[in-house]
Chain A
Amino acid sequence: EDKVVQSPLSLVVHEGDTVTLNCSYEVTNFRSLLWYKQEKKAPTFLFMLTSSGIEKKSGRLSSILDKKELFSILNITATQTGDSAVYLCAVEETNAGKSTFGDGTTLTVKP
């Protein structure tokens, strides 16, 4: 059975801290790994990763994939209170569209 495991489940930091969120996976036919940020309602897309070792960056957020060790990390530097959210990792299979989500990491950034 396909599995995506995120750690930690929750994290509390102070503004300015740097955080690293982890996602490991076991999927039969890997196509891509996606990170999302979910605040009050719908998840919003952050990154799609398909190749190992290539870092994707967007402002203070960055992510990298290791297809050999089957994991990805999401880094957030100089955290702000607006970064408080649930961060979801999902793995998409080559059976395009079929995806498995992790349970998410709840990040709380205190002022």
Chain B
Amino acid sequence: DSGVTQTPKHLITATGQRVTLRCSPRSGDLSVYWYQQSLDQGLQFLIQYYNGEERAKGNILERFSAQQFPDLHSELNLSSLELGDSALYFCASSVYGDYGYTFGSGTRLTVV
């Protein structure tokens, strides 16, 4: 157990629907990062939050949004889902310093 908790582990939904992925960072980590990993695109950075504020944005679609709450957990909202959004979505957290990022076990999203 890495200490980063992601729920749900698996999600199957239909095109056009909206889903919410949840992430709880490791105790003490203020930063949360979201990534998408698909077979054809590899691992892609989506967005980072630090202590409730958005800090960095990557290749995140406008249909996707995220937020970090006062208790530091984060949610990634995916709307108007398309087949191409099927992927593994990872959350990671970090503490400042030479420690890299700790990843959660991911949410596998399948859009049918």
Contacts and interface: CB of A to CB of B under 8 A. Distances in A.
Grouping DSSP codes into helix (H, G, I), strand (E, B) and loop, the A interface class, with mixed when no group exceeds half, is strand
Nearest to B48: A97
B28 interface: no
Interface of A: 34, 36, 41-48, 50, 88, 90, 93, 95-104
Contacts of A98: 45, 48, 56-58
A96 B101 CA distance: 12
B33 to A, nearest CB: 6
Given A42-B90, A43-B43, A101-B43, A96 B56 contact: yes
Interface residues of B, number: 23
Contact of A101 (B45, B56, B100, B105): B45
Interface string B71-112: 000000000000000000010000000111111111000000
Given A97-B55, A98-B57, A98-B58, A88 B102 contact: no
Most buried by A among B50, B102, B103, B106: B103
B103 A48 contact: no
